[in-house]
């Protein structure tokens, strides 16, 4: 075994995988550039560190179970003039999460609620915060099963533990009384302990009907809204705009 191979193996044994892969190339570069020993070592360790950070970010992003990945930069604010872009960017600093406040996006289908929720989640993960993303339908299904199997308390922890819980698509389906109760339990367990980021196509006035119980709806909203930012998006559907552009959606005279 050559000396180079031996060093490479030691790096691997130490778990410095990336440094091991790069050793040969960086060594040659250092020789060519007549770098100092210190500069060579610093360079190799930097490469290892940045790979670890990348991997860590990837693992934490996977754990968040985002439905897709879209950033704030990919959001076209000019299409949604009712939105205050500066305020959204301010929220993206995640100061509201440090204060355990909630963030709620309201609006009709296609206006970018899920996109913004995902973008916020990505910003949060990049800042080292834990995130878990779930649709309300899935949340209820999951907790209902746990309830039936007598392990609700344990399962609730999945939704209480992360720094931010994203609950997407509140309002598409009405909830029966067990579902409404499970939803209440999640909101209640997180109250003043961790942020909820929620999206809904229903105004708060419609939540009584949605939860099938106006008193329970009041209890949920009371906790949810106590420390919160509510953002109403009143614009047009971005999905339909794309259809209109491609000509698949007739009957509109929108000009561009």
Of residues 157, 145, 149, the one with CA closest to residue 189: 157
| Total binding residues toward Mg ion, as defined by CB under 5 A | 1
Map the footprint of ligand ADP across residues 172-201, applying CB under 6 A. 199
Cβ atoms of residues 116 and 230 within 8 Å: no
Q: How far is the CB of 102 from ligand ADP (least distance, A)?
A: 17
Map the footprint of ligand ADP across residues 77-96, applying CB under 6 A. 79-80
If one asks whether residue 114 binds Mg ion (CB under 5 A), the answer comes out as: yes
Cα radius of gyration (the chain) = 24
Contact pattern for ligand ADP over residues 91 through 130, marking x by CB under 6 A: ----------------x-xxxxxxx---------------
Residue 194 contact among Mg ion, ligand ADP, none, beta carbon within 5 to 8 Å by kind: none
User: Tell me, what DSSP letter sits at residue 111?
Assistant: S
- Could you give the CA distance from residue 98 to residue 164 in angstroms, rounded to a whole number? 10
DSSP string covering 65-89: T-SS---STTS-GGG-TTS-HHHHH
Q: How far is the CB of 225 from ligand ADP (least distance, A)?
A: 20
Q: How far is the CB of 7 from Mg ion (least distance, A)?
A: 52
Cβ contacts of residue 175 below 8 Å, gap of 6+? 140, 183, 210, 211, 212
Residue 216 contact among ligand ADP, Mg ion, none, beta carbon within 5 to 8 Å by kind: none
* Nearer of residues 81 and 174 to ligand ADP, judged by Cβ: 81
> Per CB under 6 A, which region of 5-13, 75-83, 94-102, 190-198 contacts ligand ADP?
75-83
C-alpha distance from residue 238 to each of 112, 170, 228, 245 (Å): 7, 19, 26, 11
* Nearer of residues 136 and 186 to Mg ion, judged by Cβ: 136
- Could you give the CA distance from residue 104 to residue 123 in angstroms, rounded to a whole number? 16
Q: How far is the CB of 245 from ligand ADP (least distance, A)?
A: 12
Contact residues toward Mg ion (CB under 5 A) are 114
């Amino acid at each position: 075994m050559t000396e180079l191979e031996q060093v490479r193996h030691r790096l691997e044994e130490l778990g410095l995988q990336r440094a091991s892969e790069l050793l040969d190339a960086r060594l040659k570069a250092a020789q060519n550039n007549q770098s100092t020993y210190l500069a060579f070592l610093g360079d190799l360790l930097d490469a290892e560190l940045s790979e670890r950070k990348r991997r860590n970010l990837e693992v934490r992003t996977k754990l968040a179970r985002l439905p897709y990945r879209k950033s704030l930069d990919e959001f076209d604010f000019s299409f949604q003039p009712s939105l205050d872009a500066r305020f959204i960017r301010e929220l993206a600093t995640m100061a509201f999460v440090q204060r355990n406040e909630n963030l709620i996006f309201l609006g009709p289908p296609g206006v970018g609620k899920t996109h913004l929720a995902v973008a916020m989640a990505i910003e949060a993960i990049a800042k080292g915060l834990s995130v878990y993303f779930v649709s309300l339908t899935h949340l209820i299904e999951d907790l209902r099963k746990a309830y039936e199997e007598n392990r609700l308390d344990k399962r609730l922890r999945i939704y209480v533990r992360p720094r931010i819980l994203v609950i997407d698509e509140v309002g598409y389906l009405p909830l029966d009384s067990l579902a409404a109760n499970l939803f209440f339990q999640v909101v209640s367990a997180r109250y003043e302990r961790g942020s909820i980021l929620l999206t809904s196509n229903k105004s708060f006035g419609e939540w009584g009907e949605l939860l099938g119980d106006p008193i329970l709806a009041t209890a949920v909203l009371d906790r949810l809204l106590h420390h919160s930012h509510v953002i109403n998006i009143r614009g047009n559907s971005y999905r339909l705009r794309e259809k209109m552009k491609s000509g698949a959606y007739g009957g509109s005279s929108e000009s561009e």
